[in-house]
Amino acid sequence: IEREQERFRQSHPRAAAAWEEGQQHFLYGAPSHWMRRWAGGFPVYVAEAQGARIVDIDGRDYVDFCLGDTGGMCGHAPEPVTRAAVRQLQRGATTMLPTLDSLWVGAELARRFGLPYWTLTTSATDANRGAIRIARMITGRDKVLVFSGCYHGGVEEAHVEIREGRVGLRNMIHPNGVDHEAVSRVVEFNDIAALEAALAEGDIACVLTEPLMTNFGMIPVAEGFHAALRAATRRAGTLLVIDETHTISCGPGGYTALHGLEPDILVAGKAIAGGVPAGIFGVSAAVAERMWAQVPRTNPKHRQSAHLGIGGTLAGNALTVATMRAVLEEVLTPDAFGRMTACAGRLAEGAEAVIAEHALPWHVTRIGARAEIMFSPAPPTCGADVIAGRDPGLETLLHAFYMNEGVLVTPFHTMFLCCPATTEADVDRHTAVFRRFVALLRQE
Ligand code: PLP
């Protein structure tokens, strides 16, 4: 690892200097703490990002499979988004008044995801917080059930994992005064019996989950799990919140539309406005009715619900709505998903071939446009499996090596995402770099 980090330092003198300077201005050395988590020891500084490519200030270029941890899944600077953003910036970004684009966006979200009523936020974190507030309001309950190994952004209730069979704080998070025992329940993903037992206690407002887990290593969903989850939440009077922030990479309506899930609330964000900060959540007609029922109607034609402190001054502003429209109309089209998925399939096959050539005890998981190399023989079934199967040293070595070889992947694990601009040549470049990485390991 040290050798790869030294190689990185030597070839990135400008980034090294920028990183030094950043220490004087930023709490984490960079504007956001996520930006510092790169295996080279410090991040590259972007000069320009276009399509699936990044050029840094040291003049090196990368094929980008990290894509802003899904925030850049549209590809960088897609022309329709740039055009819409420039046009809208010239006409005013934030007025706290709606534009006509919002009507198109609302109708399209309903069509794609199958839920009728939508709210825009400035991030997926905020959208998840909004979903939880609604669940608490209409159920009158406090607890949120999440799965061990989940991540849903800066949502306190979800900063938990299973520790010695109980709710334990995820070690990267400070308690912040929140009593997690009082507000969170955690069970292992795919464990239907544990889920049903927790829900049967009758004190859970909502289950917040990704359709399959993507954040600490991809965990595929077991046969029958979604049906059991839906049935058990209905029995318990608990809302089902599906967080599609990452799994929107499965297709135009995310995993939900592809597999006919029936969430009460659906959340997404990141790529949904082409990299302009945005989150969305949609609610079912039944949830909306229960919200409206709590507020007396002044005008019978206009439905109102308690605003619950959900929103944000910049939420749903004209810029976000214009770029979201461009994404939904011209960028994340069914055709684009077809190409992205084919590229991810090729990437997975290339990596699998290298693994097979060397008979390594590793595997590749892929779903839609997303793929992951895991250093364990079989896909994990739950959070505990992921922890047991990970090899942090090997992951850091791979990430540092990849940065030196011009390939960017999600720095927290070995996750790849393809965007509409990713080409077969980009994918083959990864296969060649992965082959060199394995050769390097063999040689040592
Ligand atoms: N939900 C999921 C599934 C995520 O993976 C993330 C971020 O990684 C979030 C929500 C939060 O997104 P943001 O940080 O953009 O608010």
Whether residues 281 and 357 share a domain: the answer is no
φ/ψ (deg, to 5) at 387: -60, -45
Residues with CB under 6 A from ligand 1: 69, 123-125, 128, 151-153, 210, 215, 243, 245-246, 269-270
Residue 126 CA, closest ligand 1 atom number: 16
Element (H, E) at 373: strand 370-374
Q: What is the number of other CB atoms lying within 10 angstroms of the CB of residue 116?
A: 15
At position 283, the amino acid (one-letter code) is V
CB 205 within 8 A of CB 139: yes
Residue pointed to by tokens 């079912």: 284
Q: CA dihedral defined by 224, 230, 236, 240, rounded to 10 degrees?
A: 130
Domain co-membership, 327 together with 342: no
Give the containing element (helix H, strand E) for 370: strand 370-374
Cα angle 397, 270, 418; round to 5: 55
Judge whether residue 83 has pLDDT over 80.
yes
> Helix, strand or coil for residue 320?
helix
Give the Å distances, CA to CA, from 269 to 18, 121, 278, 309: 30, 9, 6, 19
From 313, 331, 349, the end of a domain falls on 331
- Give the separation between CA 194 and CA 190, rounded to whole angstroms: 9
C-alpha 306 – ligand 1 centre gap (Å): 25
Tokens of 91: 């006409």
Check whether residue 105 and residue 139 sit in a common domain. yes
- The answer to whether the beta carbons of residues 392 and 411 sit under 8 Å apart is no
Most ligand 1 atoms within 8 A of CB, residue of 245, 281, 410 to mutate:
245
Q: Which neighbouring-strand residues pair with 117? A: 283
Q: Which atom of ligand 1 is closest in space to residue 244's alpha carbon?
A: 3
- 175 — pLDDT class (breaks 50, 70, 90): low
Same-domain pairing of 313 and 358: no
* Predicted confidence band of residue 294 (pLDDT cuts 50, 70, 90): confident
Q: How far apart are CA 134 and CA 157, in angstroms?
A: 14
Domain identity same for 303 and 384: no
Q: Whose C-alpha lies nearest to ligand 1, atom 4?
A: 152
Q: Is the pTM of this model over 0.90?
A: yes
Among 226, 186, 224, 194, smallest CA distance to 210 is for 226
Rounded (10°) angle between helices 225-236 and 192-200 = 10
Any idea what the CATH number is for the domain that residue 135 is in? 3.40.640.10
Q: Are residues 162 and 261 in the same domain?
A: yes
Complex ipTM value: 0.99
Element containing residue 351 per DSSP (H, E):
helix 334-357
Distances (CA, A) of 99 to 93, 303, 310, 327: 10, 20, 20, 17
* Same domain, yes or no: 241 and 138: yes
Distance 215 CA to ligand 1 centre (A): 9
Q: Is the pLDDT of residue 300 over 70?
A: no
Whichever domain contains 6, its CATH number is 3.90.1150.10
Tens of pLDDT along 205-243? 999 999 999 998 899 999 999 999 999 999 999 999 999
Say whether both 229 and 250 belong to one domain: yes
Report the separation in Å between the CA atom of 70 and the middle of ligand 1, taken as the mean of its atom positions: 9
| pLDDT of 87 | 98
Residue range 242-285, pLDDT digits in tens? 999 999 999 999 999 999 999 999 999 999 999 999 999 999 99
Domain ranges, residue 398: 2-73+334-443
Q: Which atom of ligand 1 is nearest to the CA of 153?
A: 11
End residue of a domain, out of 285, 310, 331? 331
Name the residue at shortest CA distance from atom 10 of ligand 1. 152
Q: Are residues 98 and 117 in the same domain?
A: yes
Distant-in-sequence, close-in-space partners of 10: CB < 8 Å, separation ≥ 6: none
Segment 408-436 shows an average pLDDT of 96
Interatomic CA distance for residues 132 and 115, integer angstroms:
17
Q: Are residues 327 and 350 in the same domain?
A: no
Q: Which residues of 220-258 are buried (b: 16+ CB within 10 A; e: fewer)?
A: bbeeebbeebbebbeebebbbbbbbbbbbbbbbbbbbbb
Q: What is the DSSP letter of 214?
A: -
Domain-ending residue, one of 331, 366, 383: 331
Same domain assignment for residues 362 and 221: no
Q: How many domains does the chain have?
A: 2
Whether 205 and 106 map to the same domain: the answer is: yes
99-145 tens-digit pLDDT:
999 999 999 999 999 999 999 999 999 999 999 999 999 999 999 99
